[in-house]
Amino acid sequence: MLKLNSISGFLISALLLSCCGGGSGAGNGGPNIGTPTPLPSVSLSTITQQAYEQSSQIAKVKLERSSSNARLNVKYAISGALDITKGSASSDDYQLTYSDDNSAVGARFEMAANQSYRIIEVTPVNDTQHEVPEKLIFTLTADSTYSIASDQSNASVTISDADNSSANGKVFIGAFAPQGGANTIGNGQLSFILQGDNDSGLLSYSFSDLGTEQTDQHIHLSPSGTMIKDIETMGNLSNYAWNLAPGGIFKTEQEMLDTLFDGNFYVNIHSADYPSGEISAPLSYQASITPENPGELSPQQVDLDILRFLTQSTFGATPEQYQQLRGEINPEGDNRIDVYSAWIDQQIGKPQTSLLALTDATLEKFGTEDITIARDRQEPGQNIRSDSFWPIALYGHDQLRQRMAFALSEILVISEENSDVDNAYRGTADYWDMLARNAFGSYRETLEEVTRHPAMGVYLSHLRNQKADPESGYYPDENYAREVMQLFTFGLVQRQKNGAIVLGDNSLPIATYDNSVIKNMARVFTGLSFSYAKNDDNEKVVNNNFFRGNYANDYQYRYTEPMKFFADYHDYDAKVLFSDNGNELTIAPGSPSDPSSADDELNRVITGLVAHSSTAPNIALKLIQRFVTSNPSPDYIERVATAFGDQGDLRATVKAILLDEEARNPAVASSVTFGKVKEPVLKFTALMRLLQVGSSVPLGSSSDDAIASLNYAQADQFDDGATLMRVANAAIGQKALAAQSVFNFFAPEFSPSGALSRNSLVSPELQLITESQLFDSFNSLHRLLINRFNRNNAYTKFNIHFSVEQLNIGLNFSRLESVWNSTQGSGIDKATAVVDYLDFYLNAGQLAAADNNGTRAAMINNIAVASAEDRYTLAVYAAGNVAEFQLQK
Amino acid sequence: MSTIRLSRRRFLQKSSQLSLASAAAVNSIGMLGLLGASQSLSDASDHKALVYIMLVGGNDSYNMLIPTGDNQLRRNYETHRGAVALPEADLHSLQLAIPAKVYAGADNATTNSTEFAMHPACPAMAELFNNGELAVVCNTGNLIQPTSKAQFDDGSVALPPQLFSHSDQQRQLQSEPTNPFRYGWGGGMAERLADYNSDNNVSPLIAVGGLNSFQVTQEGLINTYSLGDSGAPSLDGFARARQQILEASIQSIDAQAHLMAQKYRDTFDAAIKAQTVVQGAFTQAESLGVDYDGIFAAAGAVATDRSTQRLKTVAKMIAGRSLTTNQRPVYFLEIHGFDTHQKLLSDHHKLMTELNAALKGFRDVLVAQGDFDKVLTMVGSEFARTMTPNGEDAEAGTDHAWGGHSMVMGGMVNGGQLFGTHPDLKLDQGLDTGRGRWIPTTTNSQCSAVVAHWMGIQQSSLSSLFPSLDNFDSPFDAATNLDFIA
């Protein structure tokens, strides 16, 4: 170990040596000594960078020369880490030997005649001290007998206690107890797993029963209470990386490590009643405990991870998909990330199913083209549009793309609750298809298309938005300007890459913009209107009328093409927009005579919005919440935000979300906070996919002439057995593209009162689960079970193609029947198999894993004695409604 | 209220109030007999209910209450509203019991005006006002401390976080102008009024149509009960085996279970327990012989409008209040669509038609039930809208602004008056922060504090509920002109 005060000594001597050497070195026009043989050039490089005391792994450095076979001595200096907070090796930490003869290295590197290189081995001395990684830098110094290769004058190695395999982790644990005299029943557990090289570790803890709301959490030094680290987030931590960076009174990592092993760090949780800490837990080293090896999974854990993965990435796991992945993953599961990654690539390659094409195809059978049906007996197009979501979600091959479209539709929100959006059903369908098309592209392109889409234009009212005319007293509409910043990109406050709020000089969050930015941003979105319209002959023609209205006719050409700028109504003046880290986005004046200058301006603004440093963490959090968990760790957010980048690489983002160690960690099965409540649409699609829901109208052609079919040309993009799904406005509590407002169905920060908010945890989906909605949802499932989950209305009644009976939607219980029939033994045995089957596919086995098995027993006992007629409906009713099935971990 | 999640302290407190509480807690269904018994423990005549109607989206209230006459205020209105100014001839004039205060520059100087009218679609609201049953509190909004234009411009005063952001201003209206959001004032008030609300089967916090920030509690001990638009739905096909499994699940989700599963369980538990109470209340309401549908229809309310359905549901819950021992219930419902970025004149006309009929219908059924003196109805919105429009024709809309008018209605209201201070409607001076975004002359917390006090919060406890209240003059000082409850 090298003490702090000696590092600078080493550095100075190294510098001095190199200065002197440089002054008298060759190559600077020194005296000519006769033979002009060029000097040999010597160089250093690192062969093996790491030395480990525990495993006696040796670090290696290679000394080479370019020419000359004569004996050569090469001067060198040794120094430590340039960053004084880092560890530096001292001479008692290692021995230097040559690999070829095991002889010790002396004050100079020696090369014998004919030796073109030598390997210098750094053998660590295995002491019993706990040391941070220690750097050792060799620097060649000049001499008249050689020259030094300018880019290879030095080589560094690091000496660490042990490698970072999990077996070398060191475990610190602690229990939360009232801090000082705090009167609280707050409690909890803490662990810190320090990695083998002592460089950083993973801090996890959970606590509960604080008396009042949490306000902060820190790591402190005992007994003084000096704060060492502010943990930026609130609530429980899971594998939060702490790198032991010096803080408080400490200047070096080694001091931090010594203090850690001395047991003088503690974590405390601050609350409103106890601003200096309500509960605290020490980090106590437990030499006898070794951490679990997270790499080894049992076959059952592999199974459940596959189900978790499919639940995260599709509209519901099916036996076929499970079998496919199970077949490719080896029993230990250690290739599963590669298999999932390949599966994602396959999904990306699947042809996109189209909501607009399916809507149009269905309309032909229900709609306006058939002159034998009076207009008032024809199904409104918006009904067809909203029904058409279901076959895509339930049977589409491009499951991940459509899940991504659904997730994006909950960020870049338009809603048919707005009557213009509802009426423009072809535009609304086209908007969905646009999101799906961009699902694995770039968020920047997505946002540009969103901004120009007439469905968004009409929803957030930047369609036909005119430049200001202060004389007349009117100003551009600010609606889109506001939400494109707050909701679609960087949000209200400046964030770090891990999502934590950045505090300004006044210790308050830094607002990303103010009202003047909104006003200027509104000017960017002026002059946009429809680019196409319909003429009197129902032909699609270019629109030259800025003021063309919202009317959605049968063709809706105006709603399926991007909006364009009308120069007379765009504000071409200079604009000062938002700043990010001191860089202000300003727009130079454009020119009304140059049609492309408004487009250029829009492109610049969109690029700037997405590249803003807070956009990546903001969108990363929202997407993680849609796929994996409501409360991701800061590191998880940061990893996904990094994949997102400054253009919004959605392909990298979706992989980062689904393949992240936090998403794939089987240990979350026992977590009481990880995961999310299944949102109603996903809960119902999962159940319907497993139980092969359908009507009697095939999407493709019908094999039986007596059965009418949709004859949809792209039916091969869907699973076999895909059918028309007139789901209608079933009161399940959620409907795609029908959020109540631009703030979506639920807020990303919704934190229900009680244990969740006391632990600073959010659960957005719970905002939808109210008492009345719960009953509506139960009743909707009941209707599905009795085949009445459908849109049977006057329009259906008059339809000449399909009877009401054909359009009825029902579940197919044959999978459950097969489980029952193929299970040997008593009714209890058979019922157990059915319950476990549903638990496996719908719930990744959470019911079987629950500590309290009362629900499982009640399901089994009741299903065992149910009549054959009620058996499966009872099983599915229970699986749909009991609390144990509502979460996705 | 969920009994399961009560803290031990709160549970003991409740048990002492209501000796039957522990028996009631274990008996989830078939509670009517017990409830009848517990009712005698409370004083049924001491009943007060708050009904908060939130106009979501930002009501353009400067086109709801409009200056009239040959005066500068009217001229300012016409000049700045431009294409969206409403002609005086179409308005419903108000007879003010006392002249209204109008802002007249700095240092709280005011003048008076008696010439105001209601929107053309609001004849019933004008009539309620003139009958002394409805009052307007002028230019209220979110503020942290008293704010002048000079302070606003030079940044020398703390402003509500994210002014003009929709979601934030909505939350702040329902709580306090702070970030992060901690609790709604309805929720915090219910916790402080726990002694009045002893019922273990249904929460005193009742939302109709969905959850909200207003009723989020501070300590998390009371959950909001959310009714559907038309009341509590019943469960279809809830056969014995289904019920057994669901009840087993409620029992099995214990303190070791996932926190989100626990919350789901609490909601389900509350739904089952409250179902009996709500259905009983509705049965009792129907037995009163009040023609709910007929009265709302006569008021012009459209039966399928959510506002109609929601207010009918609230009225019936109030009528059936003997089914619960809660004596200070807080109801919350929303009317949507007020974010009129386009087509202000036509869309706002529809909204005012709906609001006018909803308030009139609700007032008439409460009178028919004999409850109008017990129920304070408060109408608020997150902000008003810019004086200047977003366009120059009849299709023009208006944008997010700041201070706007609130309303209060009920038998206890000092009706027929404009409270607080009306802006002078002058642009680029005085109260204007741009485009006619008026700095509020009364903070929402002052206005809400008067209501909370009526519900039973001591004046000395109000600043714990509204932490920013101490920054302002007391709402009970005559100078603040907030004496809107008799």
pLDDT classification of A4: cutoffs 50, 70, 90: very low
Inter-residue contact B233 to A780 (CB < 8 Å): no
Helix (H, G, I), strand (E, B) or coil at A28: coil
Say whether A857 and B248 touch across the interface (CB within 8 A).
Answer: yes
Query: For residue B275, how many other CB atoms are within 10 A of its CB?
Result: 23
Residue A20: per-residue pLDDT: 37
Residue A367: per-residue pLDDT: 61
At B269, list the tokens: 């538990």
Say whether B392 and A478 touch across the interface (CB within 8 A).
Answer: no
By C-alpha distance, the chain B residue nearest A486 is B165
Question: Whose structure tokens read 């689904």?
Answer: A658
CA geometry: angle A618, A517, A483, nearest 5 deg: 45
pTM for this entry: 0.72
State the nearest Cα–Cα gap between A329 and chain B, in angstroms: 29
A210, A629, A772, A870: best mutation site toward chain B, by most B Cβ within 10 Å? A772
What does the alpha-carbon distance between residue A345 and residue A341 come to, in Å, rounded to a whole number?
6
pLDDT at A23 over 70: no
At B149, list the tokens: 């234009």
B238, B258, B425: best mutation site toward chain A, by most A Cβ within 10 Å? B258
Provide the CA A215 distance to its chain's centre, in angstroms. Answer: 26
What does the alpha-carbon distance between residue A734 and residue A725 come to, in Å, rounded to a whole number?
17
Inter-residue contact A383 to A393 (CB < 8 Å): no
Query: Average per-residue pLDDT in chain B?
Result: 88
pLDDT at B41 over 90: no
Residue B37: per-residue pLDDT: 30
Residue B91: per-residue pLDDT: 98
SS3 of A815-869: HHHHHHHHCCCCHHHHHHHHHHHHHHHHHCCHHHHCCCCHHHHHHHHHHHHCCCC
Give tens-digit pLDDT for B114-133.
Answer: 999 999 999 999 999 999 99
By C-alpha distance, the chain A residue nearest B268 is A771
Residues from chain A contacting residue B256 (CB–CB below 8 Å):
672, 851-852
Query: For residue A749, how many other CB atoms are within 10 A of its CB?
Result: 12
- With a CB cutoff of 8 Å and minimum separation 6, the contacts of A635 are A239, A240, A241, A498, A662
DSSP state of A3: -
pLDDT classification of A567: cutoffs 50, 70, 90: very high
State the nearest Cα–Cα gap between A95 and chain B, in angstroms: 54
Inter-residue contact A415 to A390 (CB < 8 Å): no
For a pLDDT cut of 70, what percent of chain A falls above it?
A: 94
Stretch A606-611: mean pLDDT, rounded? 98
Residue A114: per-residue pLDDT: 86
Specify the range with the lowest mean pLDDT, choosing from A107-111, A115-119, A363-367, A646-650: A363-367
Residues from chain A contacting residue B433 (CB–CB below 8 Å):
515
Residues from chain B contacting residue A771 (CB–CB below 8 Å):
225-227, 232, 267-268, 270-271, 274
State the nearest Cα–Cα gap between A853 and chain B, in angstroms: 7
State the nearest Cα–Cα gap between B105 and chain A, in angstroms: 23
State the nearest Cα–Cα gap between A473 and chain B, in angstroms: 6
Inter-residue contact A353 to A433 (CB < 8 Å): no
Count of CB contacts below 8 A, A vs B? 235
Stretch A869-889: mean pLDDT, rounded? 96
pLDDT at A695 over 50: yes
pLDDT classification of A369: cutoffs 50, 70, 90: low
State the nearest Cα–Cα gap between A507 and chain B, in angstroms: 13
State the nearest Cα–Cα gap between A855 and chain B, in angstroms: 5
pLDDT at B200 over 90: no
Say whether A858 and B211 touch across the interface (CB within 8 A).
Answer: no
ipTM for the predicted complex = 0.72
What does the alpha-carbon distance between residue A53 and residue A162 come to, in Å, rounded to a whole number?
6
At B321, list the tokens: 């209040």
| Nearest neighbour of B245 by CB, restricted to A743, A757, A882 | A882
Say whether B260 and A758 touch across the interface (CB within 8 A).
Answer: no
At B83, list the tokens: 């294409």
Say whether B339 and A479 touch across the interface (CB within 8 A).
Answer: yes
B154, B252, B276, B277: best mutation site toward chain A, by most A Cβ within 10 Å? B252
What does the alpha-carbon distance between residue B149 and residue B154 come to, in Å, rounded to a whole number?
9
Give tens-digit pLDDT for A402-421.
Answer: 999 999 999 999 999 888 99
Say whether A475 and B386 touch across the interface (CB within 8 A).
Answer: yes
What does the alpha-carbon distance between residue A694 and residue A681 come to, in Å, rounded to a whole number?
16
Give tens-digit pLDDT for A245-270.
Answer: 898 889 999 999 999 999 999 999 99
Say whether B342 and A492 touch across the interface (CB within 8 A).
Answer: no
What does the alpha-carbon distance between residue A68 and residue A46 come to, in Å, rounded to a whole number?
22
pLDDT at A323 over 80: yes
Nearest to A171 by CA among A240, A258, A261, A241: A261
Residues from chain A contacting residue B275 (CB–CB below 8 Å):
775
State the nearest Cα–Cα gap between B483 and chain A, in angstroms: 34
pLDDT at A288 over 90: no
pLDDT classification of A886: cutoffs 50, 70, 90: very high
Residues from chain A contacting residue B342 (CB–CB below 8 Å):
461, 477
Give tens-digit pLDDT for B339-389.
Answer: 999 899 999 999 999 999 999 999 999 999 999 999 999 999 999 999 999
Give tens-digit pLDDT for A794-826.
Answer: 777 777 788 888 899 999 999 999 999 999 999
By C-alpha distance, the chain B residue nearest A870 is B241
Residues from chain A contacting residue B351 (CB–CB below 8 Å):
none
User: Would you list the DSSP string of A738-788?
Assistant: --SSTT-SS-TT---TTHHHHTT---GGGGG--HHHHHHHHHHHHHHHTT-
pLDDT at A290 over 80: no
Residues from chain A contacting residue B217 (CB–CB below 8 Å):
753
Residue A168: per-residue pLDDT: 84
Inter-residue contact A237 to A281 (CB < 8 Å): no
At A141, list the tokens: 């110094």
pLDDT at B435 over 60: yes
For a pLDDT cut of 90, what percent of chain A falls above it?
A: 67
Residue A336: per-residue pLDDT: 94
Helix (H, G, I), strand (E, B) or coil at A534: strand
| Nearest neighbour of B263 by CB, restricted to A476, A766, A785 | A766
Query: For residue A243, how many other CB atoms are within 10 A of its CB?
Result: 10
Say whether B228 and A866 touch across the interface (CB within 8 A).
Answer: no
Q: Is the alpha carbon torsion for B317, B322, B324, B325 positive or negative?
A: positive
| Nearest neighbour of A772 by CB, restricted to B167, B223, B228 | B228
Residue B43: per-residue pLDDT: 55
State the nearest Cα–Cα gap between B452 and chain A, in angstroms: 21
pLDDT classification of B17: cutoffs 50, 70, 90: very low
Say whether B223 and A767 touch across the interface (CB within 8 A).
Answer: no
Residue A11: per-residue pLDDT: 38
| Nearest neighbour of A758 by CB, restricted to B220, B236, B397 | B220
Inter-residue contact A526 to A467 (CB < 8 Å): yes
A771, A778, A873: best mutation site toward chain B, by most B Cβ within 10 Å? A771
Nearest to B248 by CA among A856, A847, A840: A856
